[in-house]
Amino acid sequence: MAKSVYEKILKHGEVISGYLGVVTVIINQQVATQLKLPNLQGAAVVNVLKDSPAEKAGIIPGDVIVKWNDEVVEDPQALNHFVSKTEPGDKVTIELIRDEKPVQVEVTAGKRPQGK
């Protein structure tokens, strides 16, 4: 993480992080059962912020994000790490589970709003 911050300061003169615009929760057994998931892996979306990159890409509450550009998303912390490493404007392929089916969406990372 420190290397990523250092590189962003060198490149931009400040720390600029990617932004998706979702609120996620850890998948416990209750969430997995409710969403009929095969395991406890991923980040379950509980809210999508208005006018965010996620909303523009069609991500909805109830989706479970399981991959970020072919990187496995183990939990919300891993998702936050991948998003923050992404440059604003970069296109990303997200694999998610929606209604028990795998779905891929393309999203253009935004710039994290100040103070968020």
Q: Where are the beta strands (DSSP E) in the chain?
A: 18-19, 22-26, 43-48, 64-68, 71-72, 91-98, 101-108, 110-111
Going along 10-63, which residue ranges are E strands? 18-19, 22-26, 43-48
Q: Is position 10 within any domain?
A: no
Domain count, the chain: 1
Position 8 in a domain: no
What is the tens place of the pLDDT at every residue in 49-107?
Answer: 999 999 999 999 999 999 999 999 999 999 999 998 898 999 999 999 999 999 999 99
Question: At 82, which CATH number?
Answer: 2.30.42.10
Q: Which residues are 24's β-sheet partners?
A: 45
pTM (two decimals): 0.86
In a domain, 31, yes or no: yes
Residues in the chain, total: 116
Residue 83 lies in a domain: yes
Domain housing 39: 19-111
Inside any domain, residue 32: yes
